[in-house]
Amino acid sequence: MFDLKIISHSELESEILNEIISVKSVPWDYSYENQLEWINNNLKNNDLHLLLFMRNKSVAYLNLISIDLIIDKVSYKAFGVGNVCAIEKAKGYGKELMKLTNKFIVDNQKLGLLFCKSELASFYLMNNWRLVDKNKITLSFDDSNITSMLYNFKGEYNSIIYNSRPF
C-alpha cells in the first residue's frame, strides 16, 4: 500500500524535488521558490529525503541529516529529522512515515533527534520518540520555542550536546 523512496540530496532529480515541494507546500505556505531556496541552503549532499507514496501519489515527506550527538561525553552518529509533513492530517500518512523512518534509523544503527513545537510532541511520543528534558540538552542555537526529542537511545542520560545547524 505504501512505498518509501529514500533519495540522497546529491542524487535529487527535479521530478522528485517537485514532489517534495508539493507535499511541503501543504502545511507550510511558502512559494515554490522559497521552498527550493530553503532546500538548497540547508541540505548537504549526504542528507536524505524520505518521500512516502500511496498508490503512486506522494503523501508525506521528511528529511534526515547526518549529525553527531554527544550523550554523557560519548559521541554518537545520528540522524536529525526535519520537515515532517503530510498532504492531509489524520489519514495515517505521518504515522506510516515515522514508522518507516524509525526502522531506517534502527537499521542504520543510529540515534534520531528532532525538534518540534510543543503541541506536536504527542504525535512523536505515539511514535516511540521520547522527550528530552530542556535542562539536559545543550544546543548551538536558541531552543526556547522548541521541544527536543530522541529516538533509539536506551537507558538514561545526564546530558546531550548538539553543536550544529538546526534542521
pLDDT of the residue at 166: 85
Residue 71: predicted pLDDT: 98
Q: What is the pLDDT of residue 101?
A: 98
Please report, for the chain, the start and end positions of each structural domain, with discontinuous segments joined by +. 2-162
Q: How many residues appear in the chain?
A: 167
Domain range 2-162, CATH architecture: 3-Layer(aba) Sandwich (3.40)
Backbone angles phi, psi at 154, to 5 degrees: -90, 140
For each successive 10 residues of the chain (167 residues), what is the average pLDDT? 96 95 92 93 95 96 97 98 95 97 98 96 97 96 92 97 91
DSSP for residue 88:
S
pTM reported for the whole predicted model: 0.94
**What is the pLDDT at residue 133?**
97
State how far the Cα of 98 lies from the Cα of 115, in Å rounded to an integer.
14
The three-class DSSP label of residue 115 is strand
What 3-state DSSP class applies to 129? coil
Q: What does the DSSP 8-state code read for residue 30?
A: -
